[in-house]
Structure 1
Amino acid sequence: TFPLIAKPRFGSASRGIRIISSDKEFDEIAENITDYLIQEYIAQREEYTVDCYIDAHGTPICTVPRKRLEVVGGEVSRTVTLRDDRIMELSRKVIDRLHLRGTVTLQFLRDITTDRLLLMEINPRLGGGAVCSVHAGADLPSFILSEWAGMSLTPCDNWRDGTEISRYQQEVVFYNNPNDK
């Protein structure tokens, strides 16, 4: 049922995403349908990212949910850690069911009107806002290096709830003509 969201299969930063509201709009992409991931479009939603590290044995070392407060071009610019047991448990089920290992970023939508949690994406890497989880006490780079060095890891459940970061772009001006002062 409409509306749907069509996301380029190999896209990045929200480029090329289309909201499909009718059969006619769907027909416009139908010829290249394998180039898209088609999902239910949730208009009234909250977005969450979960920064995860899973050791080589399949033990989740950390699952740190973050609410996406502000997004620019598909990248989080403001985010805050949020201890949400439901999101953490669902994340662990996804990790276990798919036998995920290493750094993983899960993205969920919460449908505000129904309170449904929907898994939106699984990325086998750290997300751009993972630094928030690091500042909250889930030292993801340390987990990677420690495991690489053969050290055993202890699950990290003592990260700080409510840690917020803001990311921003900074402009730098260079004057390359030595005569311009």
Structure 2
Amino acid sequence: MSHKTVFLTGAGGAAVPGLIRILKSKGYRVLAGDMDPHAVGLYTADQGFKLPQGDSPEFSKKLAELCQQEKVDVLIPLVDEELPASAALGSESLAVLVPDKTFIELCLDKYKLMQAFEKAGIPFPRTKLASEGAHDLKFPIIAKPRVGRGSRGVEVFQSIDEFNSYRGTLPSAKDILIQEYIDGLEFTVSVCVWRDGRVQAVIPKEIIKKRGVTQLAVTRKNSVIEKVCIKIQEQLQADGPFNVQLRIDKQGVPFVFEINPRFSTSVSLTIASGFDELNYLVDRALGVRSSQNISWKEGVVLLRQTLDEFITEDKFLKRMKEFTGEGQ
């Protein structure tokens, strides 16, 4: 059994309870952190910690203190706002499983990412800032925050009049991205990359149902998607795990509209398909020769559901007191 410690942030995420169980089954001591004292992962991990907001000045200091205090070997941040500060904590004694800092910063600014795609020859939807207007775009169009995560603040407009009415309500139209809607199948794609820049695996998952996070999806072999994801690594040098979101149009062209520079909530489906990308990269981070077989099965379906967790009231109140100082 391992005596190593792994720390996951974003303990309230849909996939996190499952990831905690998988890491525990491998013998790791698993810690979890979240700003919400009711995040389920805080209670199912070996130890939970309430964290400041990810983009606050206090976050980095608190996380660094916890990693040192708990002798954390591997840190896995799962919240976009936390990625830059978490990446900066990497050292010889602490491995942080995220891509290169430059890649992270690029992906977190969706407009700059699309500009980088244009230079790299990676297909993406026609994109503008809302401040530039939408008169030369083909409707329907998607509007979303230039900096943001998930489906927060995403709007769909069918006409220029609808969009102009919306734009008139914006505090700053420069902070909103608009893109032409690509009619076609949507995919979320796990790309497993190590520090050496070698792509170990590309696992496309066709999204059947999505509500903020993927609810229903199926693994699909697709050489076109694989090629564009490898090209992203070659051109933008992520050198760490990332998730690609794209749609394939009726001509078979994959249009990439977003990259999450971290493990995504669909990592559980990747693992279920036969390739445990999480433990593969944890092994690499710890300098352990991985026993993972880098292969996976097509046609594995994710049916995301709510899984009830049960603990004693004493344990719940004890942890709540640690998080809030109130005990209830």
Consecutive unaligned residues in structure 2, runs of 5 or more:
1-136, 310-328
- Is residue 107 of structure 1 aligned with residue 214 of structure 2? no
Partner of 2:266: 129
- Is residue 166 of structure 1 aligned with residue 303 of structure 2? yes
> Matches of 2:274 and 2:229 in 1, distance apart?
19
1:61 and 1:155 in contact (8 A); partners too: no
Correspondence for 1:49 among 180, 188, 199: 188
Q: What is the deviation of 1:170? A: 5.4
> Normalising by the residue count of structure 2, what TM-score does the alignment of the two structures yield?
0.47
- Is residue 84 of structure 1 aligned with residue 225 of structure 2? no
> Matches of 1:79 and 1:161 in 2, distance apart?
11
> Matches of 2:185 and 2:239 in 1, distance apart?
27
Q: What is the deviation of 1:25? A: 3.8
> Matches of 1:36 and 1:8 in 2, distance apart?
5
Partner of 1:60: 199
Q: Name the SS of the counterpart of 1:118 in structure 2.
A: strand
Q: What is the deviation of 1:20? A: 3.3
Partner of 2:174: 34
Partner of 2:152: 15
Q: 1:155 to 1:40 in 2, by over 3 A?
A: farther
1:72-123 deviation line (CA, Å, top 9, x unaligned): 2x21111111111111111101111100121100011012x33321011111
Higher relative contact order (CA 8 A, sep 6+): 1
- Is residue 2 of structure 1 aligned with residue 138 of structure 2? yes
Task: State the number of aligned residues.
Answer: 170
1:2-50 deviation line (CA, Å, top 9, x unaligned): 32211112333322212234444444427622222221112x3210011
Bigger drift between 155-164 and 56-65 goes to 155-164
Partner of 1:177: none
Q: Name the SS of the counterpart of 1:102 in structure 2.
A: coil
> Matches of 2:292 and 2:258 in 1, distance apart?
24
Q: Name the SS of the counterpart of 1:80 in structure 2.
A: strand
> Normalising by the residue count of structure 1, what TM-score does the alignment of the two structures yield?
0.82
1:62 and 1:156 in contact (8 A); partners too: no
Q: 1:85 to 1:29 in 2, by over 3 A?
A: same
Q: Name the SS of the counterpart of 1:158 in structure 2.
A: coil
Q: 1:155 to 1:95 in 2, by over 3 A?
A: farther
Identify, as 1 or 2, the structure richer in helix.
2
Q: 1:156 to 1:8 in 2, by over 3 A?
A: farther
Identify, as 1 or 2, the structure richer in strand.
1
Q: Name the SS of the counterpart of 1:144 in structure 2.
A: helix
1:137-170 deviation line (CA, Å, top 9, x unaligned): 2211112211111246699652111111100235
1:107 and 1:120 in contact (8 A); partners too: yes
Q: Name the SS of the counterpart of 1:83 in structure 2.
A: coil
- Is residue 75 of structure 1 aligned with residue 201 of structure 2? no
| Residue identity opposite 1:79 in structure 2 | A
RMSD, matched Cα? 2.5
Larger Rg: 2
Consecutive unaligned residues in structure 1, runs of 5 or more:
173-181
Q: 1:127 to 1:94 in 2, by over 3 A?
A: same
Q: What is the deviation of 1:171? A: 7.4
